[in-house]
Amino acid sequence: MTEFLMPSLGADMEAATVVEWRVKPGDAVKRGDIVAAVETDKGIIDIEVFEEGILQQILVPVGEKVSVGAVLAIFNGADQKSSKPSAEPLEKEQPKPVLESTQINQSTVPTPASEKSTQRISPAAKKRAKALSVDLANVKGTGAQGAITTADVEQAAGNAKPDAMRQAIAAAMSRSKQEIPHYYLATTVDMTDTLDWLAEKNTNLPVQARRVYAVLLIKAVALALAEVPELNGYWVDGQFKSSNKVNIGMAISLRQGGLIAPALHDVRGKTLDTLMAEFRDLVSRARAGRISRAEFTEASITVSSLGEQGVEMMYSIIHPPQVAIVSFGSVIERPWCVDGAVVPRKLIDVSLAADHRASDGHRGALFLNHVNQYLQQPELL
């Protein structure tokens, strides 16, 4: 027997609510299969299994909130014969650290009796309401004849999340500033030639495949980390543990408020076209509230930007257990000295916040220098 536990989905996570089971007792699963979705303060996250086997028993029903480390289900190993599976949670036989339970029925969505005769709701919206624990009595429909749509349900769920998410972000960042000895460095990069190169490359691509300059920033950071690997990894148990891959967390603002930083995996070894497709997909799923456990937890460094908001320079706070975060401002045309002449150039300011326990200012400066070099030689990206 193998216990499937509620994973930790971030340094600041203590608990999550099960919102969906994608398998049922008796189903066979293999390593990497998505078997459930849970909701944290930062959104809905898909979680996978790491062993092959047969689902024997679900211990935590949809709607129940449990702490990290709680047993969610029991699997038989792939080489074990499965006994008759049970679809019912083992509430008495297998106690677990339950923090809170909303006791949502797994087959229906609670609807007040007064609403049942008049409320119109699509099956998809009803299913989404169950997954998001939304009380339909509090949802105003915008569909035909006042019908509740999936978008109405998601908006109702989103309206309730920013406060909880803001509290979670505040807790994580407070811990970061208290525990991590930050140091900060900044530089300015001339992006003129690179942006001209990008515009030329995009003229030969269909609109949906055109690259945005953000992918150049991401790839330049990934390549620079090969020269300064002590910025790529985690501070765990009093020591630095380097990551063998560059998984870059992308700071993404959510429409309903708040911020998350899911990861693009193994960035260093991917082409710009591949990164562009993955970048668009990650942003879309993050804003729809659907990312995987690996995307949520495996970033080895974070890249952040408020350039689209017109911010020229920003100094970010490290997200533990990472040891660095790189921030980019907006591209601004400013006077710049080139070959002894002052000319207008397209410039971007870059800052690094790093953990002084894992690196020092000399190494941080070397890293920014490499970022600068790569951004001025786009053919190397």
**For position 260, what pLDDT does the model report?**
87
Regions of the chain short of the pLDDT cut 70:
10-12, 42, 78-119, 122-124, 131-133, 143-145, 150, 154, 157-165, 255-257
Q: Which regions of 6-155 does DSSP assign to beta strands (E)?
A: 15-21, 28-29, 34-40, 43-48, 53-58, 64-67, 71-77, 98-101
**For position 219, what pLDDT does the model report?**
97
CB 3 within 8 A of CB 76: no
CB 167 within 8 A of CB 348: no
Token pair for residue 90?
A: 């083992």
Q: Which domains does the chain have, with CATH numbers?
A: 2-101 (2.40.50.100), 113-159 (4.10.320.10), 180-380 (3.30.559.10)
**For position 163, what pLDDT does the model report?**
62
**For position 26, what pLDDT does the model report?**
92
Token pair for residue 220?
A: 């330049």
pLDDT in tens, 70-110: 899 998 875 554 444 444 443 333 333 333 333 333 333 34
Cα 336 to Cα 189: distance, rounded to the nearest angstrom: 11
Cα 14 to Cα 263: distance, rounded to the nearest angstrom: 21
Q: What is the pTM of this model?
A: 0.68
pLDDT in tens, 117-155: 456 786 667 877 776 667 788 788 876 667 787 677 767
**For position 11, what pLDDT does the model report?**
62
> What phi and psi, each to the nearest 5 degrees, are found at residue 88?
-95, 140
- C-alpha count within 13 angstroms, C-beta hemisphere, residue 85: 20
